[in-house]
Chain A
């Protein structure tokens, strides 16, 4: 898929240089999910990461005897997956499509291997991933504040 057409709307791709974008494009593929379809499972091997083109992904936690509960929703332009960059490379959550969802998937193994030899690339990708993780952390902290409860 031509990533340049979605570059501006993607938090991940907008930060990449043209060369980096070409690299990512070379390891990319498109994913189409129908409402309710699972993108990846909790505990699964994190060998891909994604940017959402349209639709939404809900991150869920499952526990025995309970229906799964969504803890955060990601929308168009957002990066799905940070665990792919860090050992042990496993998903902490299940990801499920909410509504018909179109994503671009990237080969995490290939990108990790490139980062081993190209430290500039590694820094760039780490920056993107860290920034996204911080943003998630910030939002999660605010969710935890339970702002709307009665005092």
Chain B
């Protein structure tokens, strides 16, 4: 079959074209998790809202969605915390300073930080889930007077899997927020809490009627914490979770990120628990 003429119309869509970014720093947070700082070749800031993600491309290997884990008040540096779980993320973890990647984005609906203004804020993170929530903490600290009681609850697998240890210490030394950290299993070096994050909820101060909670971590963890918060009087409309699914295009074309009616690249990944609790209960939805 021949084509009538060979005039060129343009690309399929410009939105699939990445921008080149350069790695300017690289540190291991845990044995399998790395934080990269990236700078754009074209120098244009990547402004983002906490909870948004970019599509990160590694030459010839592929592209994956990664939450932005940096400070939204410092958009000139793009920060990504990546856990090595597959071919692309392993390649990302192996990048060195000066290596280049492609970045598209930011995409998605982020955390409703504005909704939390004037209210108590409860941030609950499990494992790598602290990465998409760290921008919230940065933002809240920068505008601390806008929020009520601020609490952070962080659960990790074991003491060596705790991420952002410097930040954890720095947050713990502040008087204007409370942070509780626990591990699922401890070792001989650990004298902190051992147990699931829900066990820490009784210790943090919040007015359940008006608190806003932001949860990020494995789905089971988010469900258990959301249910516990509901038992304590926090309405599911005020509890937000970040739902994760396969993503290929991030621009609502490829169909992979569907979660019920929602396309997580555009309608999420942050959603109110009230909107998703029914769907999270259906296995393999």
Which A residues are within 8 Å of any B CB, using their own CB? 56, 58, 66-78, 98, 139, 142-143, 145-151
Contacts and interface: CB of A to CB of B under 8 A. Distances in A.
B191 A143 contact: no
A145 B218 CA distance: 11
Contacts of A68: 188
Contact of A148 (B190, B198, B217, B224): B217
Contacts of B220: 142, 145, 147
A73 B187 contact: no
A143 B218 CA distance: 12
Given A66-B188, A142-B220, A148 B196 contact: no
B133 interface: no
A70 B128 CA distance: 23
B190 A143 contact: no
A61 to B, nearest CB: 11
A148 B157 contact: yes
B119 to A, nearest CB: 23
B155 A139 contact: no
A10 to B, nearest CB: 11
A67 B190 CA distance: 11
A150 B86 CA distance: 10
Interface of B: 32, 83-85, 126-128, 155-157, 161, 182, 184-188, 190-196, 198-200, 202-203, 217-218, 220-221, 224
A70 B156 contact: no
A150 B85 contact: yes
Nearest to A148: B127
Q: In the A-B complex, list the 10 residue pairs whose CB atoms are closest, starting with the nearest.
A: A148-B127, A67-B188, A148-B157, A147-B218, A73-B193, A70-B194, A143-B184, A72-B195, A139-B196, A70-B186
Given A73-B182, A147-B220, A150-B84, 5 more contacts: A73-B195, A75-B202, A146-B157, A147-B217, A147-B218
A139 B194 contact: no
Contacts of B218: 147-148
Which of A56, A74, A76, A139 is packed against the most chain B CB atoms within 10 Å?
A139
